[in-house]
Chain A
Amino acid sequence: MKFNAVTLEMLWTRLISIVDEAAAALVRTSFSTIVRESNDFACVLTDARGRSLAQATDSIPSFIGTVPRTIRHFLNEFPADTLEPGDVLITNDIWLGTGHLPDITCAKPIFLGKKLVGFAGSVAHSPDIGGKMRSADAREVFEEGLQIPVMKVIRRGKIDDTFERFVRKNVRVPDQVMGDLWAQFTALHLIESRVLTVLVEHKLNSLADLADEIHRRSEAAMRAAIREVPNGVYRHSAVCDGFEKPIELKMAMAVNDDSIAIDFAGSAAQGPRSINVCLAYTNAYTSYGVKAVLSPNIPNNEGVLRPITITAPEGSIVNSTPPAAGGARALMGHFLPMMVITALAQAMPKKVIATVGSPLWCINLSGVKRDGKSFTNLFFMNGGFGAAHDRDGANVLSWPSNISSTPVEMIEQLSPLRVKHRRLRTGTGGRGQYRGGTGQEIAFENRGETPITVAFLAERTRAETAAAGIAGGEPGTPGEVLINGARVDPKVQHVVAAGGTMELKTPGGGGYGMPASRDTALIDADRLDGYVSYGSETGHG
């Protein structure tokens, strides 16, 4: 079938609205805080070969390209002739999936009559996957929880009882975990039935031609965008907190006419902690950086990614091999898009921003309540955004992920904590012609009668890892984690006694341009609103 500007536009809009509708259903039915507050999921439609046609608009960058790739792994183990209507496939294998165990990928083959025409796919962050509590210090993937091999979780409409019993036995909140899987199944069913309606309505007997056309056009648009970047090799290296000492990531981005090759040679080797990144996650976040600068408006699909090659040495921290742990991969992975953006700063200064005070931070608590029931809570917080050539960075914004904070009133309803304050961390945005966004500070008190175990995800807590400025802008202030008023190592578990306090101070974003060029009206406004510290030398900090 041939498509023109009108027919393709209408079909494509329709397919995107189908995955968006499925995404809305998934968010609303899921139990996981991280799915509903943070859009930590994706819904995808692929053709029969596992090539993506549409991905839900709001899915966060970690899932760019991962679901179709997982579906192709499904097809390797379960070729088309072994699939039947009503089947659902599943895995959370970190090398076949997204790089950490809580992300469970499911896919449902779509049959038009007897013919396999495509897959409805989804991935979502499960409320729990067993294993050690989420922190950065697991040494192998085996410590991080239950590993689900590629398997049929539903056969011709019937769920595998053994699977369900295994899962329930291995997780802390079995009802919520199973509830979320049902939410995924519901979303897959919805995609399947809507897609079949469209196929019948438009008298199509396959999605393959449509996929070819979508990919051809998307690829052409991406190549055109790449041609705007001068040829050359753009390099950048980033320093992350690491553990005993900082960890370095190195990137070389070769732009050659209409294609980009990015390589991470020279980056640190994988290590016995859970911050190792599988190649799928490296791919997703690196592509996100390229897309955010060059082609933010092209919908996500196979074609967009074709002109971009991403490689990293096997066994490095950005292309880990079994049994490396990956539960806290975001601590490394969230640096990747910023590396791409910073590398492009000289070539395209008006399309980039200074470094963001990311990765995301979180606090993970567990303990036993007075009635003997155990509880776990997970709350997120973000740092300041990077400044751009024409504006200040936003004060506190989630990036590159999109994770909402939990309301203080909900935290206090759900946990034995009192929040003493949650406020902007003034004076932490990097100075510049445009100022970096400030971080935030949030202080908790354990009001329970029992101690609680606490783990954090926290990054940019060393001077050398502060969010950098560009074009003369200064770095933002690094973050801090304090327990009972003293700085602690955020990468290990701590126990906080009854009455004890914790304070998290997230990093500020980098500034853009020379501080001396800042408009005096902006300086006055900053002073009046207290976004900067009073008394700093030049009056804006």
Chain B
Amino acid sequence: MANFALGIDIGGTFTDIVVYDAVRGTSAAHKELTTPEAPHRGVISGIQKLFGAESIACKDVSRVVHATTLFTNALIERKGAPTGLITTAGFRDTLELRREHKYELYNLFMELPRPLVRRSLRLEVPERIGPDGKVELPLDVDALLAAAAKLKAEGVTSLAVAFLHAYANATHEAQAREVIQARHPELFVSLSSEVAPQIREYERTSTTVANAYIKPLADSYLDLMSREIAGLGIKAPLFMMLSNGGLTHIDEAKRVPIQLLESGPAAGALAGSTFGLRSKARDVLAFDMGGTTAKLAMVEGGAPLIAYQFEAGRQQRFMEGSGLPINISTIELIEIGAGGGSIATIDALGLLKVGPESAGAAPGPACYQRGGTAPTVTDANLVLGYLDAATFAGGTVPIDAALACAAIEPLAKQSKLSIEETAWGIHSVVNENMAAAARVHVAERGHHAGDFALLATGGGGPLHGCEVARRLGIQRVICPPSAGVASALGLLMAPARIDRVATVACRLGDMNWRAFENAYVKLEREAGAVITKTVAKRAKVTVVRSADMRFVGQGFELVVALPAGPYHTNAKRSATALREAFTAVYGKTFGHVPPVGEIEIINIRVAVSAQVAAGELKVASGKRGGVNALKGKRKAWVGARGRFELLPVYDRYRLAIGAAVRGPAIVEEDSTTLILPPGAVAKVERSGNIVVLL
């Protein structure tokens, strides 16, 4: 019987549709331009085209998984719903006071992110809960209703409610929602105790407000998309990709849509981990270099790393601290201002700088002949012979090397280098920028970059991957096939996964182990209920407990995976186990455990997941032997030798499984080019991956 899984990934420019044939283990993909005004249109037409071409019947689809950047864009472009905020009396300005610090020290003209809710739409009601969860002042229901009515009259359609210490006792917030919805059933209500039940009122309020801001949009969009897909005759329910790399059903997605924010990148990181595993690499840096940015995700032990806070809607894209804090679990990912369009300049100190400014798609690199004159990374790559004007982007984009040289010439003059040396400088500096960001990012998590394999995707990944790897001390670079739709393929590999968090704020020494165990059990039940609604009954469910722990007095917590419970049956053993788990992670992260200190647990977390994919995914792999893959030769710069050499150029599609290519050499495919330095050996694996040993 036919059985297909369908993945839909809506990005800023393209909508990727992939379909996986669970019976034959093969996949097919289609790219459609994104239709921002009505995103479902691009999706429906893409599905129809792909299914038509592959002769797939809609009724044979058993699973649909969807990721989208729609909600991230709504935050960046400030196009969410008119939102109001109701807080504890005395604290409506929490959202605007932030944490009072600057993200740039020397800039007197720094722009702070504007709050999503202006002051006139932030109202207060008398109520008070203490830090221990005790009610100190009952909720003033009349004041609450008056505030809701006032906000509604101002045109608000979505409300955030964030009371002090609601993480410790949610009853006032729950009561608030009940009362408001009884009077105003049409208002959307988001509660801080549901969206981000963690201590620290600014971050919790910020997350809740962002959730409220996109909630009406998410609600109508998810309903519409479900209907449209069902309208095609697809009976399978629509699942959404969450930022944590898991998927869930529509109701959970609608309940707390802020969890969907990073669904696209999460799918990309998952794809990275899967392609890595196919080459038996369990620790992988998934490096995706495109036109404007490079993204880097860490995969450890076959699974992408998870972070528990990130920023949305940054005032300055690459500046940490310039955005709105969002406390949800999300794939750990950094974005670096380094891409093919990154512009090279000579700064006030006479140094060659590359990025983060980008020529973007318009006007694009100088060589695109669209009026751009600024020298970019792509221009440098063309001058160095890494790109071929004749075959660039499969011959769809005409490029001109003379324009690239002309753009680079002024930099060469200023820095007293030849044009080729300057081009190599641009190529090297952008590589060092990416390597530096990766080095710090990996080290901050207690690892050494050299222990990882680099998985290179995107148009620029294979072009720069070997050089970036060399700078990081990495020996193995993996180039998967079909890198262009890798992210969408990740959707089909995702497990169902639900994360839950609660604040306990308790010292290990004073622990009430029964209450602690019960707190975990409660979270596991909640998360488990969502999972069982998502997966088939026989699926194997995995539960992982973790906790945010620190030495008493510290302000940063480490998230520590804990042994399974129950904990209350043997308090002493549990205390020892938790202490050891914490000090092990501490030692690994910081290299040294101070000989001091009591330990406290701030938040507890559970992750419940279950595998939903059936069978191993196969991706179009290389054709077997026979054909000569050598296309020809071209002059390209060999950095290690500081000169141009005539290098062999291979056609990736014609390389046989098991074929080996020795560097220096060039391997071309439609969307990218792999540059092999001297000494490197590339092998085509049965999985379709090309694995380069440096």
Contact = CB atoms under 8 A, between A and B. Distances in A.
Contacts of A399: 102
Contact of A24 (B94, B433, B444, B596): B444
Nearest to B168: A409
A528 B120 contact: yes
Contacts of A12: 351
A277 interface: no
B143 interface: no
A221 B417 contact: no
A225 B349 CA distance: 11
B536 to A, nearest CB: 42
A221 B346 CA distance: 13
A160 interface: no
B4 to A, nearest CB: 46
B440 A17 contact: yes
Given A402-B101, A403-B101, A407-B201, A422 B348 contact: no
B553 interface: yes
B298 interface: no
A424 interface: yes
Contacts of A424: 93, 96-97, 119
B163 to A, nearest CB: 11
A95 interface: no
B105 A27 contact: no
Interface stretch (A28-36, A67-75, A97-105): A28-36
A31 B433 CA distance: 32
B105 A60 contact: yes
A25 interface: yes
A14 interface: yes
Nearest to A300: B106
B588 to A, nearest CB: 13
Contacts of B102: 397-399, 402
Given A218-B349, A421-B90, A404 B594 contact: no
A405 B97 contact: yes
Contact of A394 (B92, B112, B592): B112
A395 B436 contact: no
Given A5-B417, A409-B199, A530 B596 contact: no
Interface in A14-70: 14, 17, 20-21, 24-25, 27-31, 33, 36-39, 57-58, 60-61
Contacts of A409: 131, 164-165, 167, 199-201
B432 A13 contact: yes
Nearest to A408: B201
A297 B106 contact: yes
Contact of B93 (A341, A404, A423): A423
Interface size class of A (residues with CB under 8 A): 35 or more
Contact of A4 (B97, B112, B417): B417
Contacts of B100: 380-382, 396-398, 403-405
A531 interface: yes
Interface string B325-368: 00000000000000000000011111111000000000000000
Interface stretch (A170-178, A468-476, A484-492): A170-178
B120 A28 contact: no
B62 to A, nearest CB: 45
B119 A530 contact: yes
Given A20-B440, A31-B554, A424-B96, A186 B199 contact: no
Interface in A277-319: 288, 291-293, 295-298
A245 to B, nearest CB: 31
Interface string A186-216: 1001100000000000000000000000000
A39 B348 CA distance: 28
Interface in B367-412: none
Nearest to A303: B349
Contact of B106 (A4, A182, A292): A292
A293 B109 CA distance: 10
B555 A37 contact: yes
Contacts of B89: 421
B124 to A, nearest CB: 9
B212 to A, nearest CB: 19
Contact of B349 (A217, A419, A529): A217
B93 A10 contact: no
B436 A352 contact: no
A10 B428 CA distance: 8
A12 B346 CA distance: 15
A440 interface: yes
Interface in B52-103: 89-94, 96-97, 99-102
B101 A6 contact: no
A8 B351 contact: yes
B96 A352 contact: no
A405 B430 CA distance: 37
Contact of B551 (A31, A413, A528): A31
Contacts of A25: 443-444, 590-591
Contact of B590 (A28, A39, A57): A28
Interface in A377-396: 380-382, 388, 391, 394-396
Contacts of B415: 4-6
Contact of B94 (A17, A218, A422): A422
A521 B241 CA distance: 43
* Chain B interface main SS type: loop
Contacts of A27: 556
A5 B425 contact: yes
Contacts of B595: 178, 182
A412 interface: yes
A257 interface: no
B552 to A, nearest CB: 9
A430 interface: no
A353 interface: yes
A488 to B, nearest CB: 22
B505 interface: yes
A13 B109 contact: no
B120 A530 contact: yes
B337 to A, nearest CB: 13
A39 B555 CA distance: 12
Nearest to B90: A421
Interface string A420-448: 11111000000000000000100100000
Contact of B99 (A13, A217, A288, A405): A405
A5 B352 contact: yes
B553 A31 contact: yes
Contacts of A380: 100
A402 B554 contact: no
Contacts of A1: none
B155 interface: no
B97 A422 contact: yes
Contacts of B592: 29, 182, 185-186
Given A13-B432, A127-B553, A186-B591, A21 B444 contact: yes
Interface of B: 89-94, 96-97, 99-102, 105-109, 112, 118-120, 130-131, 164-165, 167, 199-202, 346-353, 414-417, 421-422, 424-425, 428-429, 432-433, 436, 439-440, 443-444, 505, 551, 553-556, 589-592, 594-597
A-B pairs, top 5 by smallest CB distance, nearest first, are A421-B90, A6-B425, A5-B415, A296-B106, A529-B119
22 contacts: A5-B417, A6-B421, A9-B353, A13-B429, A21-B440, A31-B597, A58-B105, A178-B595, A178-B596, A217-B349, A220-B349, A292-B108, A397-B100, A398-B102, A403-B100, A403-B101, A413-B131, A420-B90, A422-B90, A423-B93, A424-B93, A530-B119
Given A296-B108, A409-B200, A424-B97, 16 more contacts: A8-B351, A9-B352, A9-B353, A12-B351, A29-B590, A31-B553, A178-B594, A183-B594, A224-B348, A292-B107, A297-B106, A397-B102, A403-B100, A405-B99, A407-B201, A418-B130
Interface of A: 4-6, 8-10, 12-14, 17, 20-21, 24-25, 27-31, 33, 36-39, 57-58, 60-61, 127, 173, 175-176, 178-179, 182-183, 185-186, 189-190, 217-218, 220-221, 224-225, 288, 291-293, 295-298, 341, 351-353, 380-382, 388, 391, 394-399, 402-405, 407-410, 412-413, 418-424, 440, 443, 528-531
